[in-house]
């Protein structure tokens, strides 16, 4: 009896200690969370103000880029902590009873929870300190921002801004602008070339198209030519220069005007074809004309007269900020903690491609319902797992490399969408009426081989992405494989 009494007292004492430790650590965590939220709002104000202004200083842009990365990281840490807290709260609500038989396990859980809270507190504190120091460093910069001219009026909803503007490339855009607007060194005879390298669907064409839209670039160059690697043949180049000369009939030759040539290399870089293009360009283009070449291949870095601009995919933190803003629209995510956790999990499953993220976020915003988001998350998890187990590769990787991929249908689970390939289209007349989201998540019933519109970009270069597809019956396919 005495031993039982002592064990009960020991259990009560350990629980009391764990209770006070968890309470004190939770109070500290909540204080840091509140402070981090306030600092994030302050950083958001600075970045929003800077985004709406035309900044030419490379040092200012670099400082703002560092502040933006710190803000993305702080948002990611804060949202991750809130999702964990929400999951723990749900788990505690599901606990019905405790027994003395599990007292040791519960005691260990308490200590594990305490150490985990300490780790979370350290992460939140590091994010808070980093962002606070960043804001102190840009204190003078905030004063200088008012001296830069405005680019546009700030929309009422942030998601409208992200939907209609290039996201996360302000620093890179200014570097390209600096190359185009900078005067040519005196006595230089070579045409200046800027290589832009990056993986597929990272935004190389979008970056160049948005820079070329700038009024200063339009004033600097009389003509902007967009070429592909299919235009490198001699007869095509001669026809191109002749057509360009006809546009400037008031000039004695095309050498009287400055031309910007944008070359997009879709396939492997052919050095021999490039030399023909460059030699032809030197012959027909005047001093002050420039070339931008984009490719996935790093081989183009050796043809540049400037250091190559290397584009990378967004970080997890930046992608989450982008995805969350588009998915919630003008709704405050803090008012829907359960949906914020679901959105974070969906963003992780998508693995950071711009097109897929934009399509999925728009679908979630149009179906703002917890039940639908839960169903969507379960579907995406199952679909990615199925594709990897069956084909050994994530579907987004297949689509990025323009390889055949299989897309599952959420409503008609016995059917898959076989994507043979896809292409980019500029003309609105050639865009199919059927949309990919209706095909994957709706009840569309196409037959045979068909084309579907995956996404139309609302910003330059205004591409529409078209998939060539066919519906595949998974049951019939499995029966055929068994028979064979």
Report the pLDDT value the prediction gives residue 148, as an integer from 0 to 100.
83
Report the pLDDT value the prediction gives residue 23, as an integer from 0 to 100.
44
pLDDT for 191 beyond 50:
yes
| Residue 310 β-bridge partners | 197
Report the pLDDT value the prediction gives residue 324, as an integer from 0 to 100.
94
Q: Which of the residue ranges 189-198, 259-268, 361-370, 469-478 would you say has the lowest mean pLDDT? A: 469-478
For the segment 82-131, what is each residue's pLDDT rounded down to a tens digit? 888 877 666 555 543 343 333 433 433 443 455 666 777 888 999 999 99
How much is the average pLDDT of 459-479? Answer: 81
How much is the average pLDDT of 249-254? Answer: 47
Q: How confident is the model at residue 8 (pLDDT cuts 50, 70, 90)?
A: very low
Q: How confident is the model at residue 469 (pLDDT cuts 50, 70, 90)?
A: very high
pTM: 0.80
Q: Which of the residue ranges 54-68, 76-90, 249-263, 382-396 would you say has the lowest mean pLDDT? A: 249-263
Q: Which of the residue ranges 100-109, 295-304, 324-333, 384-393 would you say has the lowest mean pLDDT? A: 100-109
How much is the average pLDDT of 412-434? Answer: 85
Question: What percent of the chain clears pLDDT 90, i.e. is strictly above it?
Answer: 39
Least Cα distance to 415 among 440, 390, 433 occurs for 440
Q: How confident is the model at residue 24 (pLDDT cuts 50, 70, 90)?
A: very low
Q: How confident is the model at residue 153 (pLDDT cuts 50, 70, 90)?
A: low
pLDDT for 13 beyond 60:
no
Q: Which of 45-54, 69-78, 247-256, 468-477 has the highest mean predicted lDDT (pLDDT)?
A: 69-78
Report the pLDDT value the prediction gives residue 479, as an integer from 0 to 100.
45
pLDDT for 256 beyond 90:
no
How much is the average pLDDT of 367-393? Answer: 94
């Amino acid at each position: 009896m005495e031993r039982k009494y002592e064990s009960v007292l020991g259990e009560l004492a350990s629980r009391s200690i764990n209770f006070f430790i968890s309470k004190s650590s939770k109070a500290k965590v909540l204080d840091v969370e509140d402070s981090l939220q306030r600092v994030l709002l302050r950083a958001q104000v600075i970045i929003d103000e800077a985004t709406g202004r035309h900044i030419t200083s490379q040092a200012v842009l670099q400082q703002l880029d560092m502040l933006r990365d710190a803000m993305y990281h702080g948002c990611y840490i804060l949202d991750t902590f809130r999702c964990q807290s929400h999951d723990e709260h749900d788990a505690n609500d599901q606990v019905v009873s405790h027994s003395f038989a599990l007292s040791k396990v519960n005691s260990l859980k308490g200590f594990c929870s305490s150490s985990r809270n300490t780790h979370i507190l350290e992460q939140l504190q590091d994010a808070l300190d980093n962002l606070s120091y960043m804001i102190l460093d840009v204190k003078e910069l905030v004063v200088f921002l008012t001296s830069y001219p405005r680019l546009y009026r700030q929309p009422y909803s942030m998601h409208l801004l992200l939907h209609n503007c290039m996201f996360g490339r302000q620093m890179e855009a200014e570097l390209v602008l600096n190359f185009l607007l900078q005067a040519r060194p005196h006595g230089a005879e070579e045409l200046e070339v800027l290589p832009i390298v990056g993986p597929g669907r990272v935004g190389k064409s979008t970056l160049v198209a948005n820079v070329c839209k700038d009024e200063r670039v339009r004033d600097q160059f009389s003509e902007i030519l967009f070429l592909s690697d299919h235009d490198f043949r001699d007869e095509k180049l001669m026809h191109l220069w002749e057509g360009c000369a006809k546009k400037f009939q008031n000039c004695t030759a095309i050498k009287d005007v400055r031309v910007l040539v944008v070359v997009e290399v879709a396939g492997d870089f052919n050095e021999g074809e490039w030399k023909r293009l460059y030699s032809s360009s030197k012959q027909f283009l005047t001093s002050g004309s420039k070339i931008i070449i984009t490719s996935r291949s790093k081989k183009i870095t050796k043809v540049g007269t400037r250091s190559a601009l290397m584009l990378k995919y967004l970080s997890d933190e930046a992608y989450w900020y982008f995805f969350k803003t588009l998915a919630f629209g003008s709704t405050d995510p803090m008012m829907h903690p359960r949906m914020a956790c679901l959105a974070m999990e969906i963003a992780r499953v998508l693995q950071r491609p711009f097109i897929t993220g934009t399509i999925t976020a728009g679908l979630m915003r149009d179906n703002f319902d917890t039940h639908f988001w839960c169903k969507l998350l379960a579907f995406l998890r199952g679909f990615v797992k199925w594709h990897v187990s069956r084909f050994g590769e994530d579907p987004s990787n297949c689509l990025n490399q323009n390889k055949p991929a299989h897309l599952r249908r959420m409503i008609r689970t016995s059917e898959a969408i076989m994507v043979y390939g896809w292409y980019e289209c500029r003309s609105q007349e050639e865009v199919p009426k059927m949309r990919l989201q209706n095909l994957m998540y709706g009840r569309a019933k196409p037959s045979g081989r068909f084309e579907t519109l995956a996404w139309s970009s609302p910003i330059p270069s205004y591409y529409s992405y078209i998939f060539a597809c066919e519906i595949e019956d998974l049951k019939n396919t499995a029966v055929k494989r068994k028979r064979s």
